[in-house]
Each structure stands twice: as structure tokens, then as C-alpha cells.
Structure 1
Amino acid sequence: MFAKTLVAMALTVAAVSAAEAKDWEIYGKINVSAQQSDEGEGSFGELKSNASRFGIKGDYALEHNLTLVYQLEWEVDPSDEANEKNIKSRNQFIGLQGAFGTVLAGRHDTALKLAQGKIDQFNDYEADIKTLWKGENRVSDTVMYQSPSVLGFKFTAQQIMADEPEADSAQSYAIGYGDEELKESAWYAAVALDNGVNGYDATRLALHTRLAGFKLGAMLQQQENVETGDEKDGYLASLAYPLGKFELKTQYQVQEDDNGVSAGADYKLGKNTKLYGWYSSFDFDSAIDSDYLAIGLEHKF
């Protein structure tokens, strides 16, 4: 299975080259940490890959001022199994881009998931917001529309097809304002809605800003299990502060009676490389409390 995947990837690269793509690149990142974990049954050490990945993406100029866009991305685990379980699909799509915006078809993060921007300071680690909240979904069988920026506002709509006779389709929507990287604007704000995505309705509000050198983030979420009607509310606050080659960060997240707090620091070793360390602690109402301590290295290419 793994060999077939590599062959398919090689054929994809060859096809892109043969088509003389306007722009294409192989990209990715390797993120591995040594982690001490305590999940209630004793402490243990482990080596973890934190969503290490690689992919191919690019665009191709067409007639009528249209551009073909595409991406094929896979997650890999350099710290664990060396078989077909080592690789799995991430965002993979093809689409058209023009003055009207962008239309994509394939597998993609939902509009609600994307609405968080860069607020989650511990994304891909144990304190990723998906630990407490629903809505961090990457879905298949999806068609997504992303509008161009109009006075700083962007709209995203996503239809997730049922794929089975007895299943229901689902939708995800978001409206965002500003630059989620906080490079072109000092503010980023978004409101997003999931309708029946993976069995949940969810509403999310997000706000991110720069103030006196600090990056301050906040999110509110309400979610409801479609089948049981069980509703839960939560909020998140995050803070990051650059200090020379360091970036100090902390985050607090709540979901009803469950909560998690994290603190850490990144140290820039180069343009695309960083050394980092963090600590996360979770207090669960109906589950075993957990604590994690990690130090790791990330390189993007």
C-alpha cells in the first residue's frame, strides 16, 4: 500500500511537470518531540510526531482569466510505525480560481475549523483545541467556495455530500475579517457555523489582535450533538509574545466542567527551523486528568 502511494505521488509530479505548470512546489514540515505523558496510570516517555507532513501544490493558468489550483497533502509519522499506517491523507483537492473567488472539490478542512486562524497557540500538540471541542474536522466529498476579499471581508461556504443513501449532507460556513496572520492588519475576526458536520452543530466566534507587541486571541464556541441534543459551551484565551529569538505563549481552554492550560516557548534556530518546549495540563470532570511535558524540533521545507 505504501509503495503504491509513493508510485502515485511520483506520477503526480511527472504529470505536473509535463503540463508545464505555472507554479508548483513540494513542501512540508517535520515536527518531532520527546514527550513525558501522565494520563492517570503512571508517567511514561514517548517520541511523538506532531502532524509531520509533505505535499505537492500549485496553480496553472487557463483561458478566460481562470487559474487551476490543486493540492495533494499527506501526514507522515517519522517517530512510529514503518508501514501503510505511517501515511494518511490530509487536504487534497482541485479547483478553479478567478475574479469570483475560488471553488474547490475534494477533501478539505471545514470553514469552521479554518475560522480559528492562528489563535490556537498549541495546534497539533496535546493542547490542540480539538481535545475539548468538536468542530476540528477535515471532511471528504466536499465542495467549497471561498470569496475574494471585499473591504477586508471574506466568505466561505462548504457543502459536504452524504455519500450514502441513508446519510444526511452537512454544511459549514464562515465570514472572516482581516488577516489571520496579523501581518497586513492588526485585527482578525470570524464567525463560523457547522450544520450536522460529523454529528454536531456548532457555532464559533474568533478574535485575534496585536497589542503592545502581544498577540491576543479569544474564541467562544457552542456545540450540540445532533442525535442526543446535548449542548456544551466553551471559551478559549491565548497569548503570545516575541522576545528576541524566543516566542513565549500560553493558552487556557474551557468546555463546561473540563479545562486545559498550557505554557511554552519557541526558539528560532533559522528561517524555517525552531526548537520548542511546552507543558499542558487537563482537568476533566468525567475522565482522568492528564499532564504532558515536551521538547521538540520543527523544520519546514
Structure 2
Amino acid sequence: MKKTLIAMATLLPAFSSMAAADFYGRINLSVTDSELGVAAQNGKAGTVLENNSSRIGFKGGEELSPGLKLFYQLEFGVDNFDNSGKTFKPRNSFLGVKTDFGALSVGRNDTVFKTAEGKVDIFGTTNSDIDRLLPGQTRAGDSLTYQSPKLADLITVNGTYLMSDNYDGDNAYALSTTLGDSGLKNQPWYVALAYNKGIDGVDAARLVSQVKLGEVTLGGLLQQSEHQDAKYAALDGDTWFVNLAWDIGKTRLKFEYGHDDAGLGKYVSRFIKAETSGSLADVSNVDLNQLSVGANYKVSKTTQLWGHYTRFDGDLLLAGTSVELDDDLITLGVRYDF
């Protein structure tokens, strides 16, 4: 760990001298209490400290010639809040070029299937993230990412391709088309269609929509997923979420409900590993619900206090035997951005 910190400190002057470099980061910590801990960030039951995607990074770019810009991002997850001994983990880090025809980057990046979610994941990066029920929330290394310019200030077409030499099996890729504004500023609405082929062994199609009506934002996501491996043939089905966010001054109230019958999200796989002696290949007939209610409060431009209650309930068949999936979580946290 000491050597890693020394190496990072040595690199800081070089990063700071990069053209148009911006240094940024986030510290997002919380305390969670749950009976099973299946959805918790560290997978532990009881009362635990959670690190919710804290990170540091550098990003920037340089105009190489008229109509040609180089851009980059180097981002590292910061993990050294517990006694695991780990300091950093990989996050989005890439180098790219941007022209009038779009942007192309190479490195580690969220797939365009994942980014098609826009801002619909209102409990994102916490123990109630949509990835507890949904597959396809992938950050892939050795990838090429293309993002088109906004056509008619409304439409984008995007793609991710994984370099096959670094992955087993056939070529894996993702495609997406977005309409409107994911930030709900230029347009108060957003719609996305996305397809994932083989990334993380999953084939999936996704529809996302979100609309802002004054102080209320409504969102929804529908996804059909299936595993490519024949031994997981029973893991095939639909996942959907609906949610509402209501901004009242500095407070955002949040409500979300989701349902899954595919069994390809993190909750099912973690439950099978932690709570049973069975295998994911023996799972079928998944029926899982997720209900989350919470609030964020902006103390200042950089600091938020937040909390939520989440209940997971449902069941599945494990080698023909019914197993309950129930758990409750209560979480209180603080987030600081710089």
C-alpha cells in the first residue's frame, strides 16, 4: 500500500501539468444495518461501514487542430476506508479523439448499454443500485467506445466493442440510441434503447425513459435478459423499475419499485453464494422484488446527507426447492464531492 501511495504521489505533478487537466473526486460513506447483508457493498450482515464508489480522477483534453481534439480520463476507485488492505481499484480510464463525426476512445469504460440508463438509477452506487436486480451494468477494459455527436440536438447513436483477443468466446458488443437529454436540462425528457451482446455472458435489450414535470421526475426501465451459457438456461426473463424523485428545496425525496424474474443481477448470485451450498446453475423460477424509499439533503454545493430503507422480498427454486430471498436494509450516508 505504501509503495502504491508513493507511486501515485510521484505521478501527481505529471498529471497536474497535463493540458486542461481537472482533478476531481468523491468520498461517499455510509452505515448500513441488515440481517443478511446480501445487498450490502461488502456483503456482510449486521451494522457495517460501506464505501459507495469513492473515487479520484483526472480528466481533460487538448485541441490538436481545428475540428480534432484529444481527450482523456484516468479514474481510480478509492478503497482504503476499511482493513482490507486494498487502496485502489480500476474505474473508467481511457484516451480518445473527438471530431465533428463523434468521439472514439480506447481503454476501460462503462459500456453504452450501461450508460443508456441516463439518470434513471436514483439510488445508484449504493446498496440499492439497480444492478442488484439487473445484469449488464458493466465497466469493461480493453474496449472501444464510440459516441456520435447529437444529431438535430436530440439523437445520439453509440457503440461499445470489446477486443476479442482479451476475452473468451465470440465478439462482444453493445449498441444504444438516445433521444432527448439524460440530464433533463435541454429537454425535460429522455428515452434510450440499448442492446448488449455477450458482454459478461449476457444478451439483453433495454428501454429507458425519464421525464421531468416541474419538481417531480418520473422514470422507468424495462429489460429482457438471458444468459449465453446453456447451463444457466433457466436464467432468462424480464426486469423492470419505476421510480419517482420529488425536489423540495434542498431535499430530494425518492421512491422506487422493481421486479425481476431473470435472476441475473447481483442479489441472486450473492445470495446463492453466501446463504446456500448450491450453484447458480441450479436456480430457476426467480420472483424478486425491490422497494426503496429515501431522501437526499444538500448541505452545500459539495456535501450531501442521504439515507434510505430498502426491502428485498421474493423466492426462487434451487434444485427444485423453494428458497426465500427476503432482507431489509437501513442506510445513512454522507457524500462529499471535490
- Alignment TM class, shorter chain as reference: over 0.9
1:288, CA displacement in angstroms? Answer: 3.1
Task: Tell me the secondary structure at the aligned position of residue 276 of structure 1.
Answer: strand
Q: Letter of the aligned partner of 2:239 in structure 1?
A: G
Contact conserved, 1:39 with 1:288, CA < 8 A, in 2? no
**8 Å Cα contact 1:40/1:288 also seen in 2:** no
Rounded to whole Å, the distance in 2 between the matches of 1:5 and 1:99 is 39
Determine the C-alpha separation between the residues in 2 that align with 1:64 and 1:44: 57
Q: Deviations for 1:3-24, whole angstroms, at most 9, x for unmatched residues?
A: 45445544544334455x0x11
- Alignment match, 1:113: 114
Give structure 1 stretches of 5+ with no counterpart. none
**Separation (CA, whole Å) in 2 of partners of 1:26 and 1:17:** 8
- Give the structure 2 partner of residue 283 of structure 1: 313
Q: Given that residues 70 and 96 in structure 2 are in contact (C-alpha distance below 8 angstroms), is that contact kept between their aligned partners in structure 1? A: yes
- The equivalent of 1:30 in structure 2 is 27
Task: For residue 285 of structure 1, give the secondary structure of its aligned residue in structure 2.
Answer: strand
Structure 2 segments unaligned to the other structure (5+ residues): 39-43, 262-286, 317-323
User: Contact between 1:141 and 1:163, CA under 8 Å: does it hold in 2?
Assistant: no
Q: Secondary structure at the match of 2:114?
A: helix
Out of 241, 250, 260, which is 2:255 matched to? 250
One-letter amino acid of the structure 1 residue matched with residue 14 of structure 2:
A
Counterparts in 2 of 1:6 and 1:68: CA distance versus 1, 3 Å: farther
- Equivalent pairs counted in the alignment come to 297
Q: Map 1:59-78; keep pairs closer than 5 Å.
A: 59-78=61-80
1:123-138 matches, within 5 Å, as: 123-138=124-139
Listed as ranges, the matches of 1:114-263 within 5 Å are: 114-151=115-152, 152-164=154-166, 167-228=169-230, 229=233, 230-256=235-261, 257-263=287-293
- For residues 114 and 97 of structure 1, the distance between their equivalents in structure 2, rounded to whole angstroms, comes to 19
Deviation at 1:62, TM superposition (A): 0.5
Residues 3-12 or 120-129, more deviating: 3-12
Q: For the structure 1 residues 267 and 103, does the alpha-carbon distance in structure 2 shift closer, same or farther, using more than 3 Å as the test?
A: same
Asked whether the equivalents of residues 306 and 332 of structure 2 are also in contact (C-alpha less than 8 Å), the reply is: yes
What is the letter of the counterpart of residue 35 of structure 1? Answer: T
Residue aligned with 1:130, SS: helix
User: Offset at 1:65?
Assistant: 2.5
Q: Distance in 1 between matches of 2:308 and 2:244?
A: 14
Q: TM-score scaled by structure 2? A: 0.83
Name the aligned partner's letter for residue 121 of structure 2.
D
CA 1:78–1:40 in structure 2 vs 1: closer, same or farther (change >3 Å)?
A: closer
1:252-281 per-residue CA deviation (whole Å, 9 max, x = no partner) reads: 111121110000011110011111110011
Structure 1 or 2: more helix by fraction: 2
Counterpart for residue 265 of structure 2: none
Q: In the alignment, what sits opposite 1:299?
A: 336
Q: Distance in 2 between matches of 1:59 and 1:188?
A: 28
TM-score (norm 1): 0.93
